[in-house]
Amino acid sequence: MATAKASSAGVALGQVAVAAVLQSRGDRERIAAMDYARTLAVKNRFAFDKLDVLSLERMCIRTCVGVLRPLEDHYCLLACLSRGTYAHVGSPRRTSSLIK
């Protein structure tokens, strides 16, 4: 499976997880595995770049039984709590309130 080169270690892990999780798995299991991989990367301070926003948005999953939104605020908050980094899109006021 050919994919574009990841700009950061966090996105690289996400791309590997997408390739590794079988499409034949149920949506709930696939979303849970992807969320676990992303949480693992954030908690262990894998590097994320501000330019990763488009790559993360492509990993979004929306089905009738579940949703995975890589740009949700809880990943950014988790990165702040673990002193890591995460690509985040939001208003400057909203982002600065999470960093304080």
- Rounded distance, CA 73 to CA 12, Å? 20
Q: What is the pTM of this model?
A: 0.71
Phi, psi of 61 (to 5 degrees): -125, 125
Task: Tell me what pLDDT residue 50 has.
Answer: 77
Element housing 18 (H / E):
helix 9-20
Q: Is the pLDDT of residue 61 over 80?
A: yes
Please count the other Cβ atoms lying within 10 Å of the Cβ belonging to residue 34. 20
| Residues 6+ positions from 9 with CB-CB distance below 8 Å | 41, 46, 47, 48
Instruction: Domain ranges for the chain, please list them.
Output: 9-99
- Rounded distance, CA 87 to CA 14, Å? 13
Q: What is the pLDDT of residues 12-21, one digit of tens each?
A: 888 888 888 8
